[in-house]
Chains A and B, each alone.
Chain A
């Protein structure tokens, strides 16, 4: 029984100790380069006409799976597309 509890403690502690590597603690790493490498680049502007009211579901029609040669989004859970992807020079 004792050895089981010891084992359980070790397993739990290991699990807990690995979690801070994933968690956003306020004493987060000051390796800013590593943080910068984790996150994406600039959101591209939109090369086709964006009608007012287009965002989220209407964009995902093409961009969720990459229909009609549209680039597939890496972040389908971000639903207010036009917050970052603004109207650019219209090419198509």
Chain B
């Protein structure tokens, strides 16, 4: 009969895990829930349209319309739960002003046009520019909200057809620092752990991440873990008290940019107090030092090389000697004793420690360094590659992983961790794409900030923007658009030909020469990849409105007109194209499953080997590529050794001074997704959070004569807006700091942000610049 005890225990554990959180999901609500029983509703699954958690959603369609959505109880990610944005998905696509026809700007007005007219115009502009100025005069700005195939289509046309690497995604603005550190530490992008670590660990240290609002369903998993296991500790390190802090066991405030000092001090104590795992270090790591006194990206066309120099462990220890807790306390404000305590938590052999982070760490002028420093703590203590203890880089967008990072929609990238600068990588790609050798350019395209600077300078003449809103989300907006115009009025101040594909009018469509109406979410078939490497598929469930079309169709129509239609010969488009893309992943440790596998499952975490997903990369017994007996093996890193980088403290790009005496930090909140083009059109979400306010510390406000709800003028060296002050808001900034959420299209706070960026990742620092506030 062969039922082993092991199988029995596994099965019991699975049953318990489901029962614990999901039990009440099984009990239908007592009051008035008729939806589930209603006739005529056809249900299907899709990953949520919003954040990088990647909850699964059941979508109910009736009469050609989405009439309901539910948290999917069968998903291991969210087990029946959504956050409030997810619960209102059925309304997000039905705003009154949905774009339904192509529009061309004629004599300053947007005039409806046919698809042929719009596409012919775009093609002629692209052709002209390529002929006169070369292929690098055109560009595509894409998105971590692109489906996998939308990203693949764009990359194949631009890199494999036109022959330019001028494709970069908005993920440059959110995850680039994380990617930089994955690559320079482990030789391969994306986490080694997964969401199972949220259930199996006992210590969760959050670095500048307001998970309760930005990754709500994952925070619920942590809270749930703690409910079941009272020894679980959640420690929230941040520059501002939030809902996350409220529910954490400890809130530890630090001064902006101080993470760079704090993390070094913690490593110092781990070395000082012998909390490191020598055997693990010897077997799995090397030490390195990079280029220091790095620039901040404030000059156009600035270049930077992070040149690695090897160190011995002793040399590393010597370099770490000055980074004492007392030294760090002066910079970051965390008491030295507390830093020592944190080091002892990281080094505690009885604790399964996880670090979690997103934008506080990534949107940072030294973001790649901060990522490196977090990995250092886990590499020094050996708390990595083991179930329940891992560093987990949380992803912001639904498919920054699956599309932008895995397909390689960056200026320097190709699929499966490959880069355009490497001739072998170009060769592999050209073969799979069936394009002539030498088609792919070895010259990396510009990163997002540089791309729009190039548009501003006139070096890029044609740019196509899909599925993102850069003219609200870029830092230092007034460089790229007319300041102070009303939403919906023309704002372009350059000569570039700008095409924007979107589903609603946005602050970017008002810059466009051509606006193309796109299908959204379940109006097309698609695949997303979430934070934990889970690839999830959905089928098309409803028709897009009016003449709206898929972004892939739009790009292929341009391809045909540019003579590159032969790049897209597929009959069964989604399946054939995915299978072509999948070839890049086979054998790399990022293996994807055959396309049809994803139809029925609630996603699978790659690498998928012989139909089995991988929960923990680099871990023996879980990752098929790990050598027998190796335990933890970073097989993608050179010599299979992860890099522990020495990174010094260097100051922020701009700090408060007597003219601009306060810090400005920007970010997100629960009710709205990014620039709120979707959530802002859901009445309940708009009512709950109608406008962005500036959170000010009461003492700072008092000194300026400002009371709660007063109108204030907020100014930086780059821009100035009027908005409402809040002294007792949702978040409580520390004294000297302020916070504004960037979702509000009438309060474009990014006009004030500085376009300084991490020299390695090129990701801008949205968390730190200097402002002044005056009562209006």
Contacts from A to B (Cβ < 8 Å): 9-10, 12-13, 15-16, 19-20, 22-30, 32-33, 35-43, 45, 52-53, 55-56, 71, 74-75, 77-80, 82-89
B82 contact set on A, CB distance < 8 A: 84
B684 contact set on A, CB distance < 8 A: 45, 86, 88
> Distance in Å from the Cβ of B337 to the closest Cβ of chain A?
28
A9 contact set on B, CB distance < 8 A: 1, 3
A–B pairs, 18, beta carbons within 8 Å: A9-B1, A9-B3, A24-B14, A24-B73, A28-B602, A35-B73, A35-B74, A36-B58, A39-B72, A41-B36, A42-B68, A43-B87, A55-B243, A74-B27, A79-B223, A79-B247, A83-B217, A83-B220
Question: Besides the contacts A39-B36, A56-B247, A80-B220, what 12 more A-B pairs have beta carbons closer than 8 Å?
Answer: A19-B11, A22-B18, A24-B22, A26-B613, A32-B58, A52-B730, A53-B246, A77-B21, A80-B219, A83-B84, A83-B219, A84-B83
B35 at the interface (CB under 8 A from A): yes
B24 at the interface (CB under 8 A from A): yes
B52 at the interface (CB under 8 A from A): no
* Count of CB-CB pairs between chains A and B under 8 Å: 171
How many residues on the B side are at the interface (Cβ–Cβ under 8 A)?
75
A84 contact set on B, CB distance < 8 A: 81-84, 87
Residue among A43, A77, A89 making CB contact with B224, cutoff 8 Å = A77
A23 to B11, CA, bound (A): 7
Q: Please, which residue of chain B has its CB at the minimum distance from the CB of A30?
A: B600
> Distance in Å from the Cβ of B638 to the closest Cβ of chain A?
34
B544 at the interface (CB under 8 A from A): no
B30 at the interface (CB under 8 A from A): yes
Contact with A along B592-625 (1 / 0, CB 8 A): 0000000011111000000001000000000000
A19 touches B14 (CB 8 A): yes
Q: Please, which residue of chain A has its CB at the minimum distance from the CB of B83?
A: A83
A38 contact set on B, CB distance < 8 A: 25-26, 28, 36, 73, 80
**Given that A80-B223, A86-B685 are contacting pairs, would A35 and B17 also be in contact in the complex, using a CB cutoff of 8 Å?**
no
Kindly name the residue among B31, B60, B74 whose own CB sees the greatest number of chain A CB atoms within 10 A.
B74
A32 touches B219 (CB 8 A): no
Contact with A along B683-697 (1 / 0, CB 8 A): 011011100000000
> Distance in Å from the Cβ of A42 to the closest Cβ of chain B?
5
B7 at the interface (CB under 8 A from A): yes
Contact with A along B194-237 (1 / 0, CB 8 A): 00000000000000000010001101100110010000000000
B79 touches A24 (CB 8 A): yes
A74 to B212, CA, bound (A): 21
Q: Please, which residue of chain B has its CB at the minimum distance from the CB of A46?
A: B688
> Distance in Å from the Cβ of A86 to the closest Cβ of chain B?
4
Q: Please, which residue of chain B has its CB at the minimum distance from the CB of A10?
A: B1
A86 contact set on B, CB distance < 8 A: 84, 670-671, 684-685, 688-689
A80 touches B212 (CB 8 A): yes
> Distance in Å from the Cβ of A38 to the closest Cβ of chain B?
5
> Distance in Å from the Cβ of A48 to the closest Cβ of chain B?
13
B25 touches A83 (CB 8 A): no
A91 to B71, CA, bound (A): 28
Q: Which of B37-45, B360-368, B434-442 contacts its partner?
A: B37-45
**Given that A22-B18, A23-B14 are contacting pairs, would A16 and B3 also be in contact in the complex, using a CB cutoff of 8 Å?**
yes
Q: Please, which residue of chain B has its CB at the minimum distance from the CB of A71?
A: B31
A28 contact set on B, CB distance < 8 A: 74, 601-602
A36 touches B70 (CB 8 A): yes
B601 touches A27 (CB 8 A): yes
> Distance in Å from the Cβ of B682 to the closest Cβ of chain A?
11
Residue among B26, B83, B227, B687 making CB contact with A89, cutoff 8 Å = B687
A79 contact set on B, CB distance < 8 A: 220, 223, 227, 247
B41 contact set on A, CB distance < 8 A: 33, 36
> Distance in Å from the Cβ of B727 to the closest Cβ of chain A?
11
B8 at the interface (CB under 8 A from A): yes
Q: Which 3 pairs, one residue from A and one from B, show the smallest C-beta to C-beta distance?
A: A32-B43, A23-B14, A41-B33
